[in-house]
Every structure is written in structure tokens, then in C-alpha cells.
Structure 1
Amino acid sequence: MPSFTASLAGFVLRTTGYYRRMFTGGPQFQQNIIKVRAAPAPRPIAKGGVDVRQSEFQGRNVWHIAPKDKAPSAHILFWHGGGYVYSATDIHWKFLSHMASQHGWSITAPLYPLAPESSAEAITAWASAYYAAYQADINGAPFVMGGDSAGGGLTAALAQMARDGGQTLPAGLLLICPWLDLDPAHPDQLKTEPRDGILTISGIAEGGSLYAGDLPLTDPRCSPIFGNWDGLPPILAFAGGDDILVTDSRALKAKVPSVDLTELAGMMHDWPIFSFSESRKAQAAMAGFAARAVA
């Protein structure tokens, strides 16, 4: 059973619809995108023994978060979630700052282009170009690449593209409640949707269509579950039973049995990046995975 705090958070989110409004399709969807984009963008804060630095790549902001007074335990390239239409949130920055301060991660988090202004072909091309620049920036050191939700999908797509392009691969992949199939057609998603306090089927269907643009939904750059997973580095993945994207993680485990997947019943979408007791345990597991990968 989920902890009281996790259960309460799921209940409050379902009741208030705070996030579900942002991720519900229909006439208001693109208006909600515009409204959220108009607000000041959250940004990481340098406190608690963490250094924060900002750079740019091809006109986009890139944030670097690292421990202030110690050598990093691992280099992490992290792609944020947000349905490919929203930028990183305070929750993302708090999670990444915690991983830097408590587990010694040196994290780079690019703010990649978003739909509907951009789409999967251009977004993955930008991310692939940054992937190469990032490796040069860390002087070829081993690193782990990861992301949550849409960022998890982008992580998987980029790893497949890097392998196919003969580029150096990460030492490990971290997929947090990843969005691997843009088409929410699995029958179990209908059963899970009433319990999901963040996502809706209509929202991910419309957001996925905006992201895909002119590409078919089954193109691996859009839905990496349909890509080739052979020859990729070790994968640590997390999923929640009250998340409509849980079917994507289950499909991945069925396709790649070697994936180390933790699925917790009753847990909401993206639960590993929050501060529940279950989240902190997952974060410690991430830290261990990264340390072993880059050793």
C-alpha cells in the first residue's frame, strides 16, 4: 500500500484536477498551454550545497546543477517531462537539486524545443545535436541519460538514434514513468484513467499528435517502444499503478526483459520525482544505479 502522504497527494490531485486540467484534450488544451507558458518559468535555485549554472545551446537554455564542495558521483543528462508541450516545473528542479545535494549528481537539464511550435522530427534533431555537444562538454566522461514522462520517451528515442548513428552511448538509461507510445489505445488505460491524478487519455492523445507533427505515431522518434532496443545500455525504470502510462513500462519490460522495472501499486504518475518515502527510496536506487554504471 502507498504511504499516507502518497495516497493523500493522489487524492488531492484527483479531486482538484490541478494537473489534469493541463493534460486534458479539447478546445481548452492549447489555451492552457499558452496560459502556462505566459507565467514566469520556474528555475533551479542554488542552495543546500548546490551550484547552479545556466548556458545556452542553439538559442535554448540549458541548466547545470551540481554539488558545490565535492566531486560528482555521476554525470547525468536529464530530459524533463511535460507532455512535450510544457517546460520543466518546480517539482523537476527540486528533484534534481535533491539528487545533486544528497547523491552528488552533476546534472545537465536542457530546455528542449516544445510542441506545438516544434515537433518530434525537429525536437529529436535538436536533442541529438545537444547530446553530442554534452559529451564534448564533459570530456567524454561516462554518464547516465534519463528523463521522466515525455523526457523518458525522449531519452529512449535519443539512445536509439545515438546507437544507430555510431555515437558513444550512455553508461545507463533512467526511465521514470516513461511515455513510450504516443497512442493511448491500450484497454488498461481506460481502467486506470479514473485513478490518474495527473494525466488523461484525451490529453496525451492530443499532446502526442501535436508532438508527432507529420510523422506517424509509430515512428520510433515519437514512440520509441516501436524502435529497436538491441544494444542499448542497462535500463532502470519506474512505473506507478495509478498512472495511465504504466502500460508503456509494462510493454517495455515484455520487450526487454533485462529492464530493471519497479512498479508500485497505487502510485501516481511521476511518483519517483516527488518527496514521498517511496520517492526517496527510488531516488536512492537511482543513485546506486548511476554510481555502478559510471564506475
Structure 2
Amino acid sequence: MIRTTGARTIPPSPFSPKSKKNMKRNWPPQQRRHPPPAGNRESKMPSFIASLTGFVLRTTGIYRKLFTGGPQFQTNIAKSRAQPTPEPDAKARGSVHVAHTEFAGRTVWTLAPKDREPTAHILYWHGGGYVYPAAAVHWDFLAHMAKVHGWSVTAPLYPLAPESNAEKATQWAMDFTRAYTDGLGGKAFVMGGDSAGGGLAAAVAQMARDTGCAQARALILICPWLNLDPAHPEQAQIEPRDGILTISGITDAGRIYAGNVPLTDMRCSPLFGSWDNLPPILAFGGGNDILVTDARALKAKHPTVAYRELAGMLHDWPIFTFRESRAAQADMAAFAASALT
């Protein structure tokens, strides 16, 4: 697993300190301190630590093995269910206010700043391919957003497949969203999510619009999974560079989650739903992420989306602690603040 120390991300590495030093000397230098304005694709090389993390994840396969399709995939899901569900750790609890409640049998976490009033209320849906729970990296990211940017983040642990499916999960998410907005008492909020959670956020936004539920002021979609049918030919070209996901893994995860709902149904693949009359959207993609094809397709379909893609970046890079990640997180905070004013 990736462990964090301060503002640095230190992945597990098979290399000795000496070989790491030699590798660092030979790797491209850091060429740019900040990503470009939203809407552009950054072609510069990523920072050393981001590149090293992607390299280690690809070579060790510590995440890819969780998203390898076939019979082993169901075994991996079963093993994850046998483990305690990750939750905010002692570091998060020491830096921000952490609380949890229950809604319809599921745990709902809230992380908020300790020393000031929240700058924004955020409803956040975690990633995990619709089959895995929130991971430590999610709680580290949300705690950082609460502490540094003043967010009050509500993160529901929505029902996962195979115990649940797209029909049940989206209905649960809509029911929770109604309860959440009622609890805000008319206060504005922003909705976001990463990977599968980004897809769920998009589906909920479309359903909320269609059913008259209170809408978020903005959507933040981080490397979103918007199309459960991975038929895009470019994904096969990207897959060897992806250190987290595999095509076979997301194919199986998508089918398990869909259940009897067609893959093209907007509850499964919100890319095929209507994006009209939705709030402003900020989306992120990474050049070494097979799901970048979904983010690009969203930008092509909905040109007003503020889209940022960085070359050489792994799946879900904006929730890590790289230099580029911290810049993206500042952009999220600014985007939310602008939408709420």
C-alpha cells in the first residue's frame, strides 16, 4: 500500500536507496510547477515522485491485481469483505473533526475543519470500482481538504456489488442525497467523486435533475468512470501504462455492478445520459489511466466542462499527495468556492 508522510507520498519500492538515487538522476527533471489552466491537456513530464509511484505500481502490481478479471476477481472481492472496512485513521482524527452516522443500514462519514466554519459543504462518493470500499487514500485526501481548504465533507459508504447492483445503489444514493439536502436546510453544496464514485456522482446529478431533487451547485469528477462498457480502442494502448486498473477488471466489475440493468443505462453509464441543465463541472483525467477515455468523451460531449488532463499521470492522481495532486486539490477548492458564491 502507499503510505503518506507529511506532504510526500512514499510508495513501497523494491529498489535500494542507492538504486533509487541512480534512477532519480536519470529520470526527467521536473519541468513545471503547476498544471495549466482548466480545459488544456498538459504534455510536460510529471514530477519525479508521481512518475516513480506509477512505475512502482506497474511493476509490483499491488493495485492491478485487485482489478484483474476472471475467477480471481470474485475471490479478491470476497477477501476484501473479510477485512475491516478502512476508516479515517488517528492522523485524520487528530487534524479534523470526524463523525459518523448511519443511513438505511450504511455508514456515513463526515470530516470537517476543527478550527473554523466550513468553507463548503461537499457530498463525496468514493471510488473502488463499485465493488471495493473507500481506501486509506480517500480518507487522507478528504481529511486534507477539510483541514487545508475548510471543506465539510460527507462521504456515504454506499452499497457495493455483488451484494448490491446499479439499480439498488443509485436508488440508495438518491434517497441519501434527498436526506442530505434536507439536513442542510437550504444551504448550497457541491457534489464530487473519484473513479466509480465520479460515475455515481454524475448519475445522481442527472437523477436529481429529473426528479426535482435539490441540485448541487457544482460537480467535481476525478478520473470518473462514466461508461461501463470499455470498448474504446485507445484503452488497450493505455493499459500497459496503467498502474492501477486493467480492462478485464473494469469489464467484470461493470457487469457485476450492472446486474440486470443495461450497460448503456445512465444509472450504469451516465456518459450516455443527458448532461443538459446540470451544474458547472470540473473534471480530471490522467494520461496513464484507461478511464481517461471517459473523461475525454465527456469533454467532447459537453464542451463547457472545465477539464484538466496531465500526461503520464496515474488513475485518481488528484487525490494523492504529489505536487500535481496538491495543485489539483487547490483548483477543486477554488472551483467549489466560486460555485458557492
Task: Report the TM-score when normalising by structure 2.
Answer: 0.86
Is 1:194 matched with 2:254? no
Aligned to 1:242, the other structure's residue is in SS state coil
Is 1:31 matched with 2:45? no
Aligned length: 295
1:114 to 126, 144, 160: 160
The answer to whether the 8 Å contact 2:95/2:143 transfers is no
2:179 to 120, 133, 141: 133
Is 1:213 matched with 2:291? no
Is 1:85 matched with 2:154? no
String of CA shifts for 1:258-278, please: whole Å, max 9, x gaps: 000000000000000000000
Which residue of 2 is the match for residue 260 of structure 1? 306
User: 1-side partners of 2:326 and 2:185: how far apart?
Assistant: 31
User: 2-side partners of 1:122 and 1:200: how far apart?
Assistant: 26
User: 2-side partners of 1:117 and 1:49: how far apart?
Assistant: 34
One-letter code of the match for 1:186?
Answer: H
User: 1-side partners of 2:123 and 2:74: how far apart?
Assistant: 29
2:209 to 163, 169, 177: 163
Which residue of 2 is the match for residue 7 of structure 1? 51
User: 1-side partners of 2:162 and 2:235: how far apart?
Assistant: 24
- In percent, how many aligned pairs have the same letter? 68
User: 1-side partners of 2:85 and 2:203: how far apart?
Assistant: 26
Q: Cα distance, 1:47 vs. partner?
A: 3.6
1:236 to 282, 286, 296: 282
Which residue of 2 is the match for residue 182 of structure 1? 228
1:44 to 82, 88, 98: 88
Q: Cα distance, 1:98 vs. partner?
A: 0.3
Aligned to 2:107, the other structure's residue is in SS state strand
User: 1-side partners of 2:93 and 2:272: how far apart?
Assistant: 41
Q: Cα distance, 1:129 vs. partner?
A: 0.1
String of CA shifts for 1:21-68, please: whole Å, max 9, x gaps: 001100100100111221121111344530000000000000000001
User: 2-side partners of 1:116 and 1:228: how far apart?
Assistant: 27
Is 1:124 matched with 2:170? yes
String of CA shifts for 1:101-152, please: whole Å, max 9, x gaps: 0000000000000001110001000000000000111112100000000000
One-letter code of the match for 1:35?
Answer: K
The answer to whether the 8 Å contact 1:176/1:237 transfers is yes
2:151 to 93, 105, 116: 105
Q: Which runs of 5+ in 2 are unaligned?
A: 1-44
One-letter code of the match for 1:218?
Answer: T
One-letter code of the match for 1:23?
Answer: F
One-letter code of the match for 1:205?
Answer: T
User: 2-side partners of 1:127 and 1:173: how far apart?
Assistant: 15
The answer to whether the 8 Å contact 1:171/1:233 transfers is yes
Which residue of 1 is the match for residue 26 of structure 2? none
Which residue of 2 is the match for residue 16 of structure 1? 60
Q: Which runs of 4+ in 1 moved over 2 A?
A: 45-49
String of CA shifts for 1:212-252, please: whole Å, max 9, x gaps: 00011000000000000000000000000000000000000
Aligned to 1:151, the other structure's residue is in SS state helix
Q: Bigger CA drift: 85-94 or 38-47?
A: 38-47
Q: Cα distance, 1:195 vs. partner?
A: 0.2
User: 2-side partners of 1:35 and 1:140: how far apart?
Assistant: 42
Q: Which runs of 5+ in 1 are unaligned?
A: none
Aligned to 1:107, the other structure's residue is in SS state strand
User: 2-side partners of 1:138 and 1:168: how far apart?
Assistant: 11
The answer to whether the 8 Å contact 2:125/2:201 transfers is yes
One-letter code of the match for 1:104?
Answer: G
The answer to whether the 8 Å contact 1:48/1:101 transfers is no
User: 1-side partners of 2:82 and 2:46: how far apart?
Assistant: 35
